[in-house]
Amino acid sequence: MDQAILFTLFLAAMLAAWLGPRLLAATLFAVALALTVADYFHHATDALKLSF
């Protein structure tokens, strides 16, 4: 569900970029990208068995 929402938000950003005002496209893009990062941190919970 979470990724389906992200796809839909970026779809809205694309449609705004192509058919609507530039500011709306940029705003939708920023919101969607921030939510993508948040969703990444939600899923990236497994410990990496690595040492650097």
Partner 1 sequence: MTARTAILLNALALYGLAAVLLMGFGFQVMRRELPCPLCLLQRVAFVALAVGPILNIRFGPRPRHYAMSLLAAVVGFGIALRQVMLHIMPGDPGYGTAIFGLHYYSWAAIIFAAAIALIAIVMLFERQFEIMIAAQRPPAFAVAAVWLMIVITAANAAATFLECGLDVCPDNPVRYEMLQGGR
In the complex, what is the shortest distance from the CB of residue 5 to partner 1, in angstroms, rounded to a whole number?
A: 8
Name which position in 23, 24, 27, 46 contacts partner 1 (CB under 8 A).
Answer: 46
Q: Is 24 in the site for partner 1 (CB under 8 A)?
A: no
Residues in the chain: 52
Q: Is 8 in the site for partner 1 (CB under 8 A)?
A: yes
What span, in angstroms and rounded, lies between the C-alpha atoms of 42 and 22? 30
Q: Is 29 in the site for partner 1 (CB under 8 A)?
A: yes
Short-list 47, 43, 45, 49, CA closest to 3 = 43
